[in-house]
Amino acid sequence: MISLNARIPEGPIAEKWTSYKSGSRLVNPNNKRKLDIIVVGTGLAGASAASTLGQLGYNVKVFCYQDTPRRAHSIAAQGGINAAKNYPNDGDSVHRLFYDTIKGGDYRAREANVHRLAEVSNQIIDLCVAQGVPFAREYGGLLTNRSFGGAQVSRTFYARGQTGQQLLLGAYSSLSRQIAAGNVTLCNRRDVLDIVLVDGKARGIIARNLVTGEIERHAAHAVVLASGGYGNVFYLSTNAMGSNVTPAWSAYRKGAMFANPAFTQIHPTCIPVHGDFQSKLTLMSESLRNDGRIWVPANMEDVDRLRKGEIKPSDIADEDRDYYLERRYPAFGNLVPRDVASRAAKERCDAGYGVSSTGTAVFLDFADAIRRKGHDTIDALYGNLFQMYEQIVADSPYATPMMIYPAVHYTMGGLWVDYDLMTTVPGLYAIGECNFSDHGANRLGASALMQGLADGYFILPYTISNYLAAEIHTPCFDAGSSEFDLAAEGVADRLHALKNTNGRESVDQFHRRLGKIMWEYCGMARNEQGLNRALGLIADLRDEYGRNVRIPGGMDEYNPELEKACRVADFIDLGELMVRDALQRNESCGGHFREEYQTPDGEALRDDEHFSFAGAWEFKGSGTAAELHREELHFDVVKPSQRSYK
Determine what percent of the chain is predicted with pLDDT higher than 90: 97
Q: To the nearest whole percent, how much of the chain has pLDDT over 70?
A: 100
Judge whether 453 and 167 are in contact, CB under 8 Å.
yes
How far is the C-alpha of 70 from the C-alpha of 234, rounded, in Å? 25
pLDDT in tens, 604-629: 999 999 999 999 999 999 989 999 99
Amino acid at 390: E
State residue 275's pLDDT score: 81
C-alpha 499/C-alpha 308 separation (Å) is 48
* Cα distances (angstroms) measured from residue 483 to each of 427, 456, 598: 16, 29, 50
- The DSSP bridge partners found for residue 505 are 549
What b/e sequence results for 357-377 when a residue is b if at least 16 CB atoms lie within 10 Å of its CB, and e otherwise?
A: eeebbbbbbbbebbeeeeeee
Could you tell me the CA-to-CA distances from 540 to 346, 459, 514, 531 in Å, in that order? 29, 43, 11, 14
pLDDT tens string 469-525 = 999 999 999 999 999 999 999 999 999 999 999 999 999 999 999 999 999 999 999
Work out the angle at residue 493's Cα, subtended by the Cα atoms of residues 489 and 498, and round it to the nearest 5 degrees: 155
H helical segments located in 374-457: 375-393, 448-453
Helix (H, G, I), strand (E, B) or coil at 61: strand
**Residues paired with residue 190 on neighbouring β-strands, in sequence order:** 209
Whole-number Å distance between alpha carbons of 8 and 111: 10
Residue 112's Cα: distance from chain center in Å? 20
Q: Hey, do 267-407 and 489-613 end up sharing a CATH topology, with the first three levels equal?
A: no
Mean pLDDT in residue range 269-282: 91
Catalytic residue among 338, 343, 580, 643: 338
Q: What residues does 294 pair with on adjacent strands?
A: 364
Strands (E) in 492-538, as ranges, are 505-506
Separation between Cα atoms, residue 283 and residue 78, nearest integer Å = 8
Helices (H), 374-470: 375-393, 448-453, 460-468
Residue 529 — very low, low, confident or very high, per pLDDT cuts 50/70/90? very high
Q: So what's the pLDDT on residue 390?
A: 97
Among this protein's residues, is 338 annotated catalytic? yes
Domain 489-613 of CATH type 1.20.58.100:
yes
DSSP one-letter code for 461: H
pLDDT at 1 over 70: no
For residue 357, pLDDT over 90 is answered with no
Domain limits of the chain?
A: 267-407, 489-613
Kindly report, residue by residue over 578-611, the tens digit of the pLDDT: 999 999 999 999 999 999 999 998 999 999 999 9
* Terminal-to-terminal C-alpha distance of the chain: 43
* Separation between Cα atoms, residue 74 and residue 365, nearest integer Å: 27
Mean pLDDT of the chain: 96
Count of Cβ atoms closer than 10 Å to residue 25 Cβ = 11
To the question of pTM greater than 0.75 for the whole model, the response is yes
Crossing angle of the two packed helices 560-584 and 528-548, in degrees rounded to 10: 160
Residue pLDDT, tens place only, 26-79: 999 999 999 999 999 999 999 999 999 999 999 999 999 999 999 999 999 999
Three-class secondary structure of residue 58 per DSSP: coil
Query: With contact defined as beta carbons under 8 Å apart, do 179 and 186 qualify?
Result: yes
Closest CA to 208 of 422, 543, 498: 498
Query: Taking residues 533-543, what's their average pLDDT?
Result: 98
Q: Residues for the chain: how many in total?
A: 646
In this prediction, residue 160 has a pLDDT band, given cuts at 50, 70 and 90, of confident
Confirm if 235 and 246 have CB atoms less than 8 A apart.
Answer: no
Q: How far apart are CA 521 and CA 523, in angstroms?
A: 6
267-407 CATH: 3.90.700.10
Name beta bridge partners: 63: 40, 187
Q: Cβ contacts of residue 259 below 8 Å, gap of 6+?
A: 413, 414, 415, 416, 436, 614, 615, 616, 617, 631
- Which helix (H) or strand (E) segment holds residue 24: the answer is none
pLDDT in tens, 283-337: 999 999 999 999 999 999 999 999 999 999 999 999 999 999 999 999 999 999 9
Q: What is the mean pLDDT of residues 338-345?
A: 95
Decide if pLDDT at 430 tops 90. yes
Largest CA distance in the chain: 77
